[in-house]
Amino acid sequence: MKTVTNGHLQFVITNTQNNVKFQLDLFTLEENSLRMKINELEPIRKRYEVQNVIVNEPKLVSVTTSKLDVNQLEGHFGKTCRFILVSNPFRLDLFTNENVFVVSVNSKQLFNFEHYRKKQSSDGETPLHDEDGMWEETYKTHTDSKPHGPSSIGIDINFVNFENVYGIPEHADSFSLKSTHDTDPYRLFNVDVFEYDIQNPMALYGSIPYMLAHNEQTSVGFFWLNAAEGWIDITNNKLSTKNLFSTIKNFFGTTKVENELPEITTHWMFESGIFDGFFFLGPTPRDVFRQYGLITGTTPLPPLWAIAYHQCRWNYNDEDDIKNVNAGFEHHMIPMDVLWLDIEHTNGKRYFTWDTGKFPNPEKMQQDIALYGRKMVTISDPHIKKDDNYHIYADAKLKQYFVKSKDGSDYEGWCWPGSSMWLDYFNPEIFDWYASRYSYQHYKGSTSTLFLWNDMNEPSVFNGPEVTFPKDVVHYGDLENRDVHNIYGMLQHMATFKGLLDRSEGRERPFILTRSFFAGSQRTAAVWTGDNAAQWSHLKMVVPMLLSLSVTGIGLVGADVGGFFKNPDPKLIVRWYQAASFQPFFREHAHIDTARREPWLFGDDNTRLIRQAIETRYTYLPYWYTLFYKQEKQALPPMLPLWAVFPHDTQTFKKDDSFMIGNSLLVYPITDADVTEVSIYFPGNNTIWYDIRTFIPYNGSETLLITVDMESIPVYQRGGSIIPQRLRKRRSSMLAINDPITLIVTLDKNNEARGELYMDDGHTYDYKKKRQFIYRRFLFKNNELTSSSLNPNGKFDTTAWIERIVIMGYPRNPNKVSINSGEQTAIPLHSYHDKQKVVIIRRPGPSISTDWTLTIS
């Protein structure tokens, strides 16, 4: 062992079969985290270490080490964490909460590291043993040359005393990950899948090599920073405690140790790269979210309009079509914030251009939409049409900015425009050049109300192996695509983000939607789940897919409402709108060959139901916006699995038919046709849940059959919470920025409740740069509701005020309600509904930005 610095220990691992040596670095990090890196000690070629993901170099904390015996080293770090490193055979065991054994690394001895080698032996003449596929592989008609030979790396990561693991998106599968004993492993490889299958471990558009485990005692996480193709096997096992080291047997806390414990064995395999693993030791779900957020960053506060309703299809035909769709929302009085244009708006799929026959006045079109408080989004895919008369292609060709084939020529493939090239974003010069294409000078016809959509950025190559780049394509720095494949799309949307940020000189918050993603994508883009279908089974799959993304850091997530492929029947699309109105990113989108499906095209009654669902989203925007502010500050996703809020409730651990929005809303989408009742589990012992429509209370830790109709889906507000709403109807979110607030107060069994409200201008960075924001806390206790500042350093001018207060679960009709704000005392009108036990206080009057106390006597 070598102590590099306090918090950084260094060791050498030897492969006893071939005597190849590896360097092992252990870093004890702040916030109950540990990093372990393993790399070749003397490689003949430098192995790729992933860039652009970690936001800051993690802060080290001191570690105290001691030898347990000649074979075991113990280390203590942080307040409650420790590890035991075993030398022969190599193994690492991790403990949290002083003595709770949670993770074991290489306890199954599956560690394998294929070192780089030359094709010929040291004498330059004798070929090395050439196993099938070592230096070249074929896939259908494609050949993958491997000039540096095999380079894979694998290891087992085992979660002790756990029965559920989550994460490693993107897969259309259950939220609690399944055993792969009888299937292929879960695959991580960004690829364009046309109308994907569900209940399947196949790879999809994005990859995040991050897994979480949760049980009644603790939550932990493991993140392997590797951008190559990966495979992960999962097996549910039993761990015999008889076989544990005697020193480990003592580390089970207060848990009674039986002869066997549940254990989830995961075997991680990547084609190349190094082992760079982060272990997050919780112990709570919130701790794990924060620990991962410190490494990869959090979702920044999006513009308010970005979390409202978006309308899209492939494609709106021309300027008249856009005008008519906008008019349709006006005529049917349906709120909407963003209209989107897909690839057909361009001049022959040449991005940063317009089809001037269909869109002759794009700036005026955007300005006309902006008069309604609305924005527009256009698409910009990474493939560049091979056409010397296309300015983007001609300039990039002149500057040698394209990805290279293995022979050094520009790589050419096939995508929407036909013959296409791809920019090499790994080159900082090219990255900056691409970002600058979004300036008004270069993107003619764009305005300040136009934002971007990066699609097909896995990248999708129609004639490539698996519809993507060959693995021996070469990027800047002599990087093979096999090393970096899964971050290509992230670099594109990072460059797009920079372009939009520079366009406004750092004032306006950008909005980008991406299909391809990696760990860290949350810092610059929203994500959607790609090409789903108009089927009930795909609607059912939305919740587990979004939860998997949420717990792995991607906060602004959604799925195409109604399904991208095929035509939804009226019941399906109504149910989809109702579900999506309570999910982070809310966009309707459809394939070019589908029937038009604007919200008013399914009959008057269904138009009413869809309008009602969209209006519900706008009602809750103050709550959503507050949650996204907390995501930026605390890495707490707005959309949460039930166990993240009720970590000790074992009934929630496999739940993916329902979810939480923040701590306060429980949502049960209806994902089957023609149902009249659903079985609903209400989590949380000693918890009350109030139906948001009927105000009927339900007790936690109970499963009940609840009658449903087409009017809505079951949604419940948690007792003990206060949710801010805006009830006035507007055509778009930004027109309501100064509208009054209604507080919905639901009392718990102690007749108490609390909540928060965050407000700012909704679109600039002034909340950071000039501290122009309001962040309030509401507390109901001892018959008093108080409003106080959570951050007195923030100041924001607003005319918003408290218009109404609704208190559910109040036991009796109050004699008097009074409110004191500064030196003023008012006695507002109130009413009491005895059957529902609801107090409604009308026009109490205080400003959002002031301290006040409402007293009930």
CB-based contact 752:776 (threshold 8 Å): no
Q: 63: Cβ–Cβ under 8 A, 6 or more apart, which residues? A: 6, 7, 9, 26, 28, 75, 76, 77
Q: Active-site residues: which are they?
A: 455, 531
Confidence band of 760 (pLDDT split at 50, 70, 90): very high
| Alpha-carbon span 451 to 470, nearest angstrom | 31
Q: What is the mean pLDDT of residues 375-381?
A: 98
Mean residue pLDDT of the chain comes to 95
pLDDT band for 293, please (50, 70, 90 cuts).
very high
Q: Which of 489, 670, 638, 677 is nearest to 571 (CA)?
A: 670
pLDDT tens column, 430-479? 999 999 999 999 999 999 999 999 999 999 999 999 999 999 999 999 99
Residue 536 CA: distances (Å) to CA of 198, 320, 529, 669: 12, 33, 16, 11
Average pLDDT over residues 86-99: 94
Which CATH superfamily groups domain 30-37+45-127+147-246+266-296? glycosyl hydrolase (family 31) (2.60.40.1760)
Tell me which DSSP letter residue 695 carries: -
Say whether 737-857 and 312-380+431-467+481-621 share the same fold: no
pTM score, two decimals? 0.97
Q: How many Cα atoms occupy the beta-carbon half-sphere of 399 within 13 Å?
A: 16
Structure tokens belonging to residue 581: 């109105």
Mean pLDDT in residue range 673-682:
97
Structure tokens belonging to residue 234: 């999962």
**C-beta of residue 555 within 8 angstroms of C-beta of residue 632:** no
CATH class of 737-857: mainly beta
Q: Which residue type occupies 627?
A: L
Q: What is the CA radius of gyration of the chain?
A: 28
DSSP codes joined into one string, 185-232: PEEE-----SS--SS-----S----EEEEE-SS-EEEEEE---S-EEE
DSSP 508: B
The kind and range of the H/E element at 166 are strand 165-167
Task: Give the model confidence (pLDDT) of 213-250 as tens digits.
Answer: 999 999 999 999 999 999 999 999 888 777 665 555 55
pLDDT score at 127: 56
What is the Cα 651 distance to its own chain's centre?
Answer: 24
How many CA atoms within 13 Å lie on the side-chain side of 304? 25
| Three-state SS at 706 | strand
Quote the CA–CA distance of 469 and 483 in Å, as a whole number: 12
Map residue 571 onto helix, strand or coil: helix
Which runs of consecutive H residues, i.e. helices, occur in 718-792? 766-769
Looking at residue 487, the DSSP 8-state letter turns out to be G
Residues in the chain: 857
For residue 697, what pLDDT band results from cuts at 50, 70 and 90? very high
Give mean pLDDT, residues 378-404. 98
Where do we find the tokens 């544990």?
A: 244
Reduced 3-state DSSP string for 380-434 = CCCEEECCCCCHHHHHHHHCCCECECCCCCECCEEECCEEEEEECCCCHHHHHHH
How far separated are the first and last CA of the chain, in Å rounded?
Answer: 69
pLDDT of residue 251: 52
Q: Which DSSP symbol is given to 565?
A: B
CB-based burial label for 428 (10 Å; 0-12, 13-18, 19+)? exposed
* pLDDT at 94 > cutoff 70: yes
Contact 186, 180 (CB under 8 A): yes
**Does the structure show a pLDDT above 90 at 123?**
no
pLDDT at 824: 83
Checking if the pLDDT of 552 tops 80, the result is: yes
pLDDT at 258: 62
838 versus 140: which is more confidently predicted? Answer: 838
Q: What is the pLDDT of residue 253?
A: 47
Q: Where are the domains of the chain?
A: 30-37+45-127+147-246+266-296, 312-380+431-467+481-621, 737-857
pLDDT value of residue 106 = 98
Is 23's pLDDT higher than 70?
Answer: yes
Query: What pLDDT score was predicted for residue 260?
Result: 87
| Fold for the domain defined by 312-380+431-467+481-621 | TIM Barrel (3.20.20)
Q: Which pLDDT score, from 0 to 100, does residue 130 have?
A: 58
| Residue whose C-alpha is closest to residue 97's, from 111, 112, 114, 80 | 80
Provide the pLDDT for residue 256.
54
pLDDT tens, position by position, 799-823: 999 999 999 999 999 999 999 998 7
Q: Give me the percent of the chain exceeding a pLDDT of 70.
A: 96
CA nearest neighbour of 340 among 302, 371, 380, 378: 378
